[in-house]
Amino acid sequence: MNAPARIVRSRGLSLIELMIAITLGMLIVAALVALYINVTRTDSEMAKANRQIENGRFAIQLLQDDVEHAGFWGAYVPQFDDLTTVTAPLDAPKALPDPCLAYSSANWDGNYLSDIIGIPVQGDAGTCAGAGGVIANQQANTDVLVVRHAMNCVAGVGNCEADTKDKLYFQSSLCETEIGGLAQGGTDDTITLDAGASSTDDYYKGVQIRIIYGTGVGQSATITAYNGTTKVASIAPATWGIKPINDSVYAIGLGYVLGISDGTPDGPPFIFHQRGNNCALPAVKRKFVSNLYYIRDYAVTAGDGIPTLMQSTFDLSGTTLAQQPAQALIEGIEGFRVMYGIDSLSKGGTAEDYTKAVAWTDPYNKVTPTNRGDGVAEGAYLKASGVTCTGANTCPAANVVAVRIYVLARNLEPTAGYTDKKTYVLGDPSYTMGPFNDHFKRHVYSTTVRLVNPSSRRDTP
């Protein structure tokens, strides 16, 4: 007879064991939540830092790329920077141009053209900051930078903007015979051009004309009408100071034209041609570029507190050619300072003198000029307030060959538990920002940019 089966009873968790299990589970969950929060916070800070770095570097790169093109005018070299000229230059800048002067042939006279062509970068904003100007709500203690050049691509070629009617273009001549000639005489308000001048009526209308040798040297005017049969050109202002005679040598625009396009490659006043093919092909046209940069104290709506790098471009609005309202480029750029390197001495250490022709250490071996710069910035870099222009021989702005750019980039969102107590120096001890005592992290980015075009023209062996 078999023994009865033993009954086995199963036991559950005791209350104490259950409480211990729950407590351990809660500790694990709490650790996971803390880990998740820390990882999320770290990711957030990394994202903020990455965006700040990206914005700071992008701002520096954008400004550097534009400044590197400053002073590019195609094949044209300003006379005061041309070491091959044999007379005193007539186009040495004499004043800081107003970058917000709307275009007109009366406003943009010979002197103004010399100033904007010869001063490719400047920190003076002129009327741009006035009532209704393109600079509005500028961040305190920040600079303005204006950069000028011709477009580095040819209008209508490749990806370059098409030649557009009523926009402003630059054209320089590669055909030496058409740049000027010998006057046949003149009156108070006319000049009779060389016998070889164009026989087309109004061919030179709207073009600057300058007397470069002989009677009346140094004068300039704008041709308002031209008779191709008589070769007589009417000029404005209404009268010459000294009437040109038959020993007066003139130049058409000193080798370039800056004027309004009619939308065709060779329409007036774009009269110049290329060297090849017997000067039959029109010279290329390049759009005139003037970019103005500054910092606005908001991004989208006034008071949002997000400082933003702004850019105003020179373009056509309606029927007016002028600096256009600024557009937002990069958010979070809070500080902007520019320092200017001035080339004020020749290679031998003597001062520049643009009132005289180029002088050479050895006149039989023209290698080293003694009264022109050498393309190298001497001494300390200057703040914008020190880069002035009050005359042909007192114009540091015309001798800028390098700039140092500083931007202070700020996170767009605050960091909990962080207080910014730092002081940031942007190039000069007097250019400081902070401490801000807020919760945004910041970093200074900087670069030194050589103005390749002006400085390389002055290079000598």
User: In the beta sheet, which residues pair with residue 312?
Assistant: 292
Instruction: Give the whole-angstrom CA distance, residue 288 versus residue 170.
Output: 6
Phi-psi region of 443 (alpha: psi -120 to 50; beta: other; left: phi over 0): beta
What letter would DSSP give residue 194? P
What letter would DSSP give residue 120? -
* C-alpha torsion 22→24→29→35, nearest 10: 170
Give the closest residue to 352 by CA, choosing from 336, 376, 369: 369
CA angle 391, 103, 337 (to 5 degrees): 60
Cβ-proximal residues to 177 (8 Å cutoff; 6+ apart), any chain: 196, 279
Q: What tokens appear for 445 in the block?
A: 């980015």
Global pTM reads: 0.86
Q: What tokens appear for 176 in the block?
A: 């030496």
Give the closest residue to 196 by CA, choosing from 176, 214, 222: 176
Q: What is the pLDDT of residue 15?
A: 81
Alpha helices in 395-460 (DSSP H): 452-458
User: Domain locations in the chain?
Assistant: 53-98+138-146+322-458, 168-279
Burial of 62 (0-12, 13-18, 19+ CB in 10 A): middle
Q: Where are the beta strands (DSSP E) in 411-451?
A: 424-425, 432-433, 442-450
Instruction: Give the whole-angstrom CA distance, residue 308 versus residue 115.
Output: 30
Instruction: Give the whole-angstrom CA distance, residue 459 versus residue 343.
Output: 11
Sort strands 145-150 and 327-331 into parallel, antiparallel or unpaired: unpaired
> C-alpha 129: how far from its chain's center?
17
Instruction: Give the whole-angstrom CA distance, residue 111 versus residue 296.
Output: 32
Query: What per-residue string of b and e applies to 11-26 under the rule 16 or more CB within 10 Å gives b?
Result: eeeeeeeeeeeeeeee
Instruction: Give the whole-angstrom CA distance, residue 43 versus residue 66.
Output: 34
User: In the beta sheet, which residues pair with residue 449?
Assistant: 403
Q: What is the pLDDT of residue 4?
A: 59
Instruction: Give the whole-angstrom CA distance, residue 41 versus residue 246.
Output: 82
Q: What is the pLDDT of residue 10?
A: 59
Give the closest residue to 210 by CA, choosing from 185, 188, 235: 235
Tens-of-pLDDT digits for all 461 residues of the chain? 555 555 556 566 788 878 888 888 888 888 888 887 777 777 677 788 889 999 999 999 999 999 999 999 998 999 999 998 888 888 999 999 999 999 988 888 888 999 999 999 999 998 898 767 899 999 999 999 999 999 999 999 989 999 999 999 999 988 877 888 899 999 999 999 998 888 889 888 888 888 888 999 888 888 889 999 999 999 987 789 999 999 999 988 778 989 999 888 777 788 888 876 678 888 999 999 999 999 999 999 999 999 999 999 999 988 889 999 999 999 999 999 999 999 999 998 999 999 999 999 998 888 999 999 999 999 899 999 999 999 999 999 999 999 999 999 999 999 988 999 999 999 989 899 999 999 999 999 999 999 999 999 998 87
Instruction: Give the whole-angstrom CA distance, residue 60 versus residue 58.
Output: 5
